[in-house]
Amino acid sequence: MERAARPAVERPAPAARRANSHDVMTTFSTSSELGRHVGQTVTLRGWLYNSRSSGKLHFLEVRDGHGIAPCVVSLRDVGEEAFRAAGGLAQETSLAVTGAVSAHPKRPGVFELQVKELAVIGAPRAPYPISPKDHGVEFLMDHRHLWLRSRRQHAITRVRHTIVKAIRDFFDGRDFTLVDAPIFTPNACEGTSTLFETDYHGQPAYLTQSGQLYMEAAAAAFGKAYCFGPTFRAEKSKTRRHLSEFWMVEPEVAFTDLEGVMALAEDFLCFIVERVLETRRPELAVLERDVAKLEAVKKPFTRMSYTDAVAEVARLRAERTAAGGAAPAAPTAPATGEGAPEAADEAPAVERELVWGDDFGAEDETLLSQRYDTPVMVHRYPAAVKAFYMKKDATDPRLALGVDVLAPEGYGEVIGGGQREDDLDVLEAAIAAHALPPEAFRWYCDLRRYGSFPHGGFGLGVERTVAWICKLPHVRETIPFARMLHRLSP
């Protein structure tokens, strides 16, 4: 689909590089376009991903950023000197190979190059650290700058790209205006989470944990608005679902209610999944993702009140105990050549009874979300466990009009949101009840002071969404350079 701009060094003359040119030797191509050049001679530039040899034949897998093309070097075609050189190339040598394109004799739909010329652009100065066998998580994360080259990481990153594009297309297509929220904030948006503190010209400032409050201001200005950017949490979380720096998209809509927010979240997730299925089948195949599970993500999603969910969790826990007491299976990815880390066995959690008023634990979310093929929308939580800005349910003031969307297959919360408190007096009382500094929220209260309006929105965590759609065991593989409790480099 997208085609990268070609750097200047690749340029002979633009006209000579057109795919329809039958001009041999000057047609540059990419591995993903080889099928359009059968019978022609093209040049590929890339890196040696792996090679095998069979006496008078070398098989080079050339990785060019788009895909990996099999290239066959025959002693008969290139002569003894070039043949020997081709056999001695180290992994990740950058090179240019020129040859005729043909269909792969054994793999339908795969095209290979019968090499006539091979030029080394840059030979590695040391053996490439990531060999084609298994590696551990720590080693791979230490070499993240190189790990990105691997087939599996390439596939994940391209799915992430498509998800990010789908997010923008969805909101842009529905007349939302992009309103960027600040990264530096003077105080905790929600007053609860642990934030990263910085020195802002002599006064403390915090890295944002949410753009939501700013989006409420944007909703009053634009009707429908969203922000999309990095978000920071300083909690010392060490789990497969947490990063210190992650990306979040936060739409906010004027004149809507909880039902409207849920309908938007539902359409949004369906749009993202459909887009990935439309454009990233090859990448999902590399990841050995069961696409039937994604194809099942269709409207309507299961909607369940918190009160019903508590009963459901209690039932599921009892069922599990009866079935042998095993903890719910954690999401795992198939182990592949690049050493996909296996999820460790779940430690059985200390099981205290879940009573009405408690928030769900991670295990409860897993239990619930494994139960259904579609995401599950759990709504109307106890107000006591939710943020101060959530609007109370008029029919039961113990409840807040919030919703969490749990992704299927045990992935848990990918969206959190709801309807906001739009009554100035109630909001000011909530700020006082949470012991928050009223002056810091004066501008936020202004939104209710000058033409208040019912409104709501949600936040979607990009990395958790990528992990779910790719069925990855850990969010650290969903972002190019993860920032975690014990990971600040590369």
> Considering the rule CB under 7 A, would residue 46 count as an interface residue with RNA?
no
> Considering the rule CB under 7 A, would residue 285 count as an interface residue with RNA?
no
Residues 187 and 48: their CA atoms lie apart, in Å, by: 50
> Considering the rule CB under 7 A, would residue 359 count as an interface residue with RNA?
yes
Q: Of 188, 263, 362, 424, which lies in the binding site for RNA, with binding defined by CB under 7 A?
A: 362
| Burial group, residue 455, by CB count within 10 angstroms (0-12, 13-18, 19+) | buried
> Considering the rule CB under 7 A, would residue 70 count as an interface residue with RNA?
yes
Minimum distance between the CB of residue 439 and RNA, rounded to whole angstroms?
23
User: Judged by CB under 7 A, which stretch of 2-10, 298-306, 406-414, 448-456 contacts RNA?
Assistant: 406-414
Residues 249 and 228: their CA atoms lie apart, in Å, by: 4
Token readout for 451 is: 């033409």
Residue 98 region by backbone torsions, left for phi larger than 0, else alpha for psi between -120 and 50, else beta: beta
> Considering the rule CB under 7 A, would residue 415 count as an interface residue with RNA?
yes
DSSP string of 446-486, one letter each residue: HHHHTT---EEEEEEEHHHHHHHHHT-S-GGGSSSS--BTT
> Considering the rule CB under 7 A, would residue 480 count as an interface residue with RNA?
no
Token readout for 7 is: 């750097």
Q: How many residues bind RNA (CB under 7 A)?
A: 83
Minimum distance between the CB of residue 169 and RNA, rounded to whole angstroms?
20
Residue type, 449: R
Minimum distance between the CB of residue 487 and RNA, rounded to whole angstroms?
6
Nearer to RNA, 57 or 96 (CB): 57
Instruction: Show contacts with RNA in window 244-273 (CB under 7 A).
Output: 244, 246, 248
Q: For RNA, what does the binding mask look like between residues 316 and 335, x meaning CB under 7 A? A: --------------x-----
Instruction: Show contacts with RNA in window 213-242 (CB under 7 A).
Output: 233, 235-242
> Tokens 């909703």 — which residue?
219
> Considering the rule CB under 7 A, would residue 460 count as an interface residue with RNA?
yes
SS (H, E, C) 390-406: ECEECCEEEEEEEEEEE
> Considering the rule CB under 7 A, would residue 88 count as an interface residue with RNA?
yes
User: Judged by CB under 7 A, which stretch of 18-26, 30-38, 106-114, 427-435 contacts RNA?
Assistant: 106-114
Nearer to RNA, 344 or 432 (CB): 344
Residue type, 464: R
Minimum distance between the CB of residue 75 and RNA, rounded to whole angstroms?
5
Angle ∠(178,181,187) on CA atoms, nearest 5:
160
Token readout for 265 is: 């979240």
> Considering the rule CB under 7 A, would residue 471 count as an interface residue with RNA?
no
What are phi and psi for residue 164, nearest 5 degrees?
-60, -45
User: Judged by CB under 7 A, which stretch of 130-138, 304-312, 418-426, 429-437 contacts RNA?
Assistant: 130-138
Residue 12 region by backbone torsions, left for phi larger than 0, else alpha for psi between -120 and 50, else beta: alpha
Residues 348 and 328: their CA atoms lie apart, in Å, by: 9
Nearer to RNA, 87 or 260 (CB): 87
* β-bridge partners, 50: 61
3-state secondary structure of 210: coil
Minimum distance between the CB of residue 36 and RNA, rounded to whole angstroms?
19
User: Judged by CB under 7 A, which stretch of 129-137, 255-263, 311-319, 437-445 contacts RNA?
Assistant: 129-137
Token readout for 397 is: 């003031």
3-state secondary structure of 286: helix
Count other Cβ atoms within 10 Å, centred on residue 138: 11
Residues 469 and 104: their CA atoms lie apart, in Å, by: 31
Minimum distance between the CB of residue 485 and RNA, rounded to whole angstroms?
7
Residues 112 and 102: their CA atoms lie apart, in Å, by: 6
Minimum distance between the CB of residue 113 and RNA, rounded to whole angstroms?
10
Q: Of 42, 115, 166, 243, which lies in the binding site for RNA, with binding defined by CB under 7 A?
A: 243
> Considering the rule CB under 7 A, would residue 368 count as an interface residue with RNA?
no
Q: Of 25, 385, 429, 432, which lies in the binding site for RNA, with binding defined by CB under 7 A?
A: 385
Instruction: Show contacts with RNA in window 155-194 (CB under 7 A).
Output: 192-193
Residues 345 and 214: their CA atoms lie apart, in Å, by: 41
Q: Of 3, 125, 201, 486, which lies in the binding site for RNA, with binding defined by CB under 7 A?
A: 486
Q: Of 365, 390, 448, 468, which lies in the binding site for RNA, with binding defined by CB under 7 A?
A: 365
Nearer to RNA, 17 or 399 (CB): 399
> Considering the rule CB under 7 A, would residue 3 count as an interface residue with RNA?
no
